[in-house]
């Protein structure tokens, strides 16, 4: 049993910040993000200790997180609507991708992401915030790398359009 705890501890240490950040960017509360992140790892632990084999731990954790966020909004009966009025215009000298890569203001990024579709949100967060490669995202989502690149490109177009309207 000691090895199981050690193995899970390594998984937790490796993914807790990414999962928290992913959830935080999709919900409107630090408390909710902390609760949902905790639940992700509770569910993972239950699966882990039941002897079930988890092929791709990263994909498994993100899938739990996505489902919990969806459940959260269903239970609250609210949509993810956040005004972009307070989202600063991106400096024209700085590329949009550089701004996202900067990760300096998660709250601003969260507000911008709230107005694009959920699939686009996930891919932008995974690629630009969590630094996952296109290949890793393709593996997690069971899509081709080309499909992930296309989705990423469309997501960035949607985000750029928001900033042009602001």
Domain boundary (61, 80, 99) is at 80
Query: What is the distance, to the nearest Å, from the Cα of residue 43 to the centroid of all Cα atoms in its chain?
Result: 18
- The tens digit of pLDDT for each residue in 123-141 reads 988 888 888 899 999 988 8
User: Based on the domain organization, do 44 and 7 belong to the same domain?
Assistant: yes
- 15: domain CATH number? 1.10.1740
- The tens digit of pLDDT for each residue in 7-65 reads 899 999 999 999 998 998 888 788 999 999 999 999 999 998 888 888 899 999 999 99
Domain boundary (25, 56, 80) is at 80
Domain span at residue 133?
81-166
User: Based on the domain organization, do 76 and 147 belong to the same domain?
Assistant: no
The total of structural domains in the chain comes to 2
User: Based on the domain organization, do 148 and 90 belong to the same domain?
Assistant: yes
User: Based on the domain organization, do 160 and 135 belong to the same domain?
Assistant: yes
Buried-exposed string 51-87: b where 16+ CB fall within 10 A, e elsewhere: eeeeeeebbbbbebbbebbeebeeeeeeebeeeeeeb
Q: Which two tokens stand for residue 126?
A: 């995974």
- The alpha-carbon radius of gyration of the chain (Å, integer) is 17
- 91: domain CATH number? 1.10.10.10
Say how far apart CA 22 and CA 26 lie, in whole Å: 7
Q: What is the pTM of this model?
A: 0.67
């Amino acid at each position: 049993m000691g090895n199981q705890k050690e193995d899970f501890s390594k998984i937790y240490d490796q993914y807790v910040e990414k999962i928290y950040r992913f959830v935080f960017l999709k919900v409107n509360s630090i408390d909710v993000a902390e609760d949902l992140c905790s639940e992700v790892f509770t569910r993972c632990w239950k699966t882990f200790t039941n002897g079930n084999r988890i092929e791709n731990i990263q994909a498994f954790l993100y899938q739990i997180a996505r489902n919990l966020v969806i459940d959260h909004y269903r239970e609250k009966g609210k949509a993810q609507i956040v005004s972009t009025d307070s989202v600063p215009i991106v400096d024209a000298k700085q590329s949009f991708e550089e701004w996202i890569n900067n990760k300096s203001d998660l709250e601003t990024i969260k507000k911008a992401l709230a107005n694009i579709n959920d699939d686009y949100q996930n891919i932008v967060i995974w690629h630009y915030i969590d630094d996952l490669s296109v290949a890793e995202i393709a593996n997690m989502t069971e899509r081709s790398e080309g499909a992930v690149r296309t989705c990423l490109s469309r997501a960035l177009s949607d985000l750029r359009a928001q900033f042009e309207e602001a």
